Structure 1
Amino acid sequence: MTRVAYILAPSHSGSTLLAMLLGAHPDACTVGELKITRLGNVEKYLCACGAPIRQCTFWQGIAKRMAERNVAFDVTHAQTALMAHGSAYTNRLLRPLHRNRLMEFARDAALSLSPTWHRQRRTFAERNVALMESVAAQSGAKVIVDSSKTAIRLKYLLRLEQLDIRVIRLIRDGRGGALALMEPAAFADATDPKLRGGGSGGNRDDERLTMAEAAEEWRRSNEEADEIVKTIDPSRVTTIHYEDVCQTPLGTLGNLFQFLGLDPTKGTVEFRNTPQHVIGNGMRLDSTSEIRLDERWREQLSDDDLSTFERVAGAANRRYGYR
């Protein structure tokens, strides 16, 4: 059975930083978001090790190990996302965020009517289990860190008996998360503009949201995370805050390693000193291990932005302890 640490959080909550800190432990490994959706320009896309993704020897090794499990694999077209093999009908049902038990029962009942769903679910299980086992074998790690974040993916991973999943519920002040959604290139990507977009550059203007949209996205993502946590054995879930990761990293990591069954004394904050092969957020391509609390929202958000956030998501933000 493969032990998996699943980071559950809204986008831009610090999951890549956390995953790389966890992955620096000698008995853990992360490759970022194992759902591996779009990589953009794959000819220019860089692995965190600095190699073009198709030339990375780690990922070439993963493909070989997957083939030994009779699963064809190409990291640029991984097909590990839940909706990768679905029909228009099943993917429409899977698109809404995770909700309460009654709504999820209704979703599952509707999905069960589709022959495509049964094949889709089997393929999802086969490819994800094979990938996690292959990463564990390639790295020698006891724990694989998946920073995919979404609750609907977690729901179906939890049903796989081959995986021993521990959930890390990561929370960040919603004003910081909203700013990153509004300006992803400047506040949620590599420091070097030439390395943004996975290594191909770009301004990511097509991803920008308004404050109202960003606050709604942040609030709804937290709501779905809270709903799925209610369905999980409390001993398999721990909650941490992004701000604690940045301000007290060693203590926070020590608690997480104990939760994951790893020796907390082997953790380190010098995560750039460990070879990593992460795909996803552009900060993986930065060069420094400096852990710096990002609260640029305090200077960057206007009074109108803050008023809009308060109207849409202020109550939720306060429930998580932010004022």
Structure 2
Amino acid sequence: MNKILYVAGWGRSGSTVLDVILGNHPDVVSVGEVTYLVDDWNASGRRCACGASYTDCSFWNGLAEVESLTEETAQMVRKVERRSATLPVLLDAISAKLKERYRRFQQDVFSYLAETTGASIVVDSSKSAGDAAMRFYALSQIAEFDVHVLHLVRDGRSTMASYVNKGSNWALEGHAEPLLLPGVRAVGGWTLANLWTLAVSKMYFRSDRYMRVQFEDLITHPARTLEATGAFIGIDVDMLIDRVRCGDHFDVGHNVGGNRIRHNQSIQLRHKSGAERQPWSNLNAFHSTFFAIFGQWLNSKLGYNW
């Protein structure tokens, strides 16, 4: 495998859509939020996007012959990738044994993906919040992959509205209870994930290994956004642009996690004009005010005016 395109940022920012579209390129394999593969492997009811359990999935089941996909392995991954691991990992205070176990596991997983698909680029849209906050750093600095960070952002008011009005994906799929104070959680999670991505990318990734993309640009100017993404990772995306212009549906494949639309088996990018952006429209007065106080300062830094 030559490189990983890591989609960083927070949820509800369109990562599943971008992941799937890029995964329809012959040199690219889309795997979704692969950080949760081992967790889902051992969780009753969690399914691959194809609808099968991971042990029965024609794409993933062979991985069990390469690696031990146990709850112990899942715990090992979290010890390196979750937000609470930030200081130990950055200060190199975790054991050499843990680092080697993590490196070997990730190299086995990504080698399996390369050998199974023949793709030279893997799109990992695990993002950079909560349990996966350290993942893009760890894949680069511990597992020693060539990681290109695509920081996908969306107007924080829109992500907040999506989270408040619809709830978390896990709750929507029946795997968790609805969360209390979704507006507060949305603003806090969105802020931490995006600030963390900005800080780590600036400190540990060269300028040619980091690119920020607005989801709104993807849906209003898809050709321009896909062309820039293709140049970033070194592939010709004209075929994808042509398919978007024709209104084609893109096959989802075998993604792990992500938006529940992955279970539709195919995704179509819906064009919107700039005039259709109404980030405040689905927020009540309390949530609008709360975001204005605690989130708009970062929203402005990411290019979203008041």
User: If the TM-score is normalised by the length of the shorter chain, which range does it land in?
Assistant: 0.7 to 0.9
Can you list the C-alpha shifts for 1:57-85, whole angstroms capped at 9, x where unaligned? 10113333xx2xxx3236xx59367644x
Q: Does 1:215 align with 2:215?
A: no
Aligned to 1:299: 281
The reply to whether residue 73 of structure 1 matches residue 46 of structure 2 is no
Secondary structure at 2:60's aligned position in 1? helix
Q: How far apart, in 1, do the equivalents of 2:27 and 2:162 lie?
A: 32
Unpaired runs of 5+ in structure 1? 99-103
Contact between 1:2 and 1:162, CA under 8 Å: does it hold in 2? no
Q: Secondary structure at the match of 2:300?
A: helix
Q: What CA distance in whole angstroms lies between the structure 2 residues aligned with 1:142 and 1:188?
A: 33
Matches within 5 A, 1:57-96: 57-64=58-65, 67=66, 71-73=67-69, 77=71, 79=73, 83-84=77-78, 86=79, 95-96=83-84
Name the % identity: 24
Pick aligned residue for 1:274 from 251, 272, 276: 251
What amino acid does structure 2 have at the position aligned with 1:46? R
- Aligned counterparts of 1:271 and 1:46: Cα–Cα separation in 2: 25
| Count of residue pairs brought into register by the alignment | 290
Question: What is the DSSP-based 3-state SS (H/G/I as helix, E as strand, rest coil) of the residue aligned with 1:79?
Answer: helix
**Shift in alpha-carbon separation, 1:9–1:40, aligned structure 2, 3 A:** same
How far did residue 222 of structure 1 move? 1.2
**CA distance in 1 between partners of 2:123 and 2:75 (Å):** 16
**Is the 8 Å Cα contact of residues 155 and 279 (structure 2) preserved in structure 1?**
no
Q: Distance in 2 between matches of 1:273 and 1:223?
A: 31
Q: Are 1:22 and 2:22 counterparts?
A: yes
Report if the CA contact (8 A) 1:28-1:142 is conserved: yes
Q: 1:23/1:209 Cα in 2 relative to 1: closer, same or farther (>3 Å)?
A: farther
Give the aligned CA root-mean-square deviation in angstroms: 3.1
Aligned match of 1:35: 35
Give TM-score, length-normalised by structure 1. Answer: 0.78
Equivalent of residue 311 in structure 1, options 257, 280, 293: 293
Say whether 1:239 aligns with 2:227.
Answer: no
1:176 Cα offset (Å): 1.7
Establish whether residue 6 from structure 1 lines up as the match of residue 2 from structure 2: no
Q: Is the 8 A contact 1:21 1:271 kept in 2?
A: no
Could you say if the C-alpha distance between residues 4 and 302 of structure 1 is closer, same or farther in structure 2, counting changes exceeding 3 Å?
same
TM-score, length-normalised on structure 2?
0.82
Deviation at 1:180, TM superposition (A): 3.3
Structure 1 residue 189: Cα displacement = 4.1
Q: What is the one-letter code of the residue matched to 1:21? A: I
**Residue 145 in 1 paired to residue 139 in 2?**
no
Q: Specify the alignment match of 2:106 in structure 1.
A: 128
The residue correspondences of 1:126-205 to structure 2 (distance < 5 A) are 126-150=104-128, 151-160=133-142, 162-183=144-165, 186=166, 189=169, 196-197=172-173, 201=174, 204-205=176-177
Task: Kindly state the Cα deviation for residue 289 of structure 1 after the two structures are TM-superposed.
Answer: 2.6
Q: 1:41 to 1:83 in 2, by over 3 A?
A: closer
Question: Hey, what's the Cα distance between the residues in 2 that align with 1:252 and 1:38?
Answer: 33
CA distance in 1: counterparts of 2:41 and 2:214, whole angstroms: 30
Which moved further from structure 2: 282-291 or 257-266?
282-291
Distance of 1:296 and 1:177 partners within structure 2: 12
Secondary structure of the residue aligned to 2:26 is coil
CA deviation profile, 1:183-215 (whole Å, cap 9, x unmatched): 5xx26649xx9xx42xxx46x443353323321
How far is 1:258 from its partner?
Answer: 1.9
Q: Does structure 2 retain, via aligned residues, the 8 Å contact 1:5–1:167?
A: yes
The DSSP-based 3-state class of the residue aligned with 1:55 is: coil
Spell out, residue by residue over 1:66-112, the C-alpha distance to the aligned partner (whole angstroms, 9 max, x if none). x2xxx3236xx59367644x4xxx89xx63486xxxxx5x8644x52
Confirm or deny that 1:227 pairs with 2:221. Answer: no
CA shift, 1:273, in A, is 4.2
Question: C-alpha separation between the residues in 2 aligned to 1:260 and 1:251?
Answer: 15
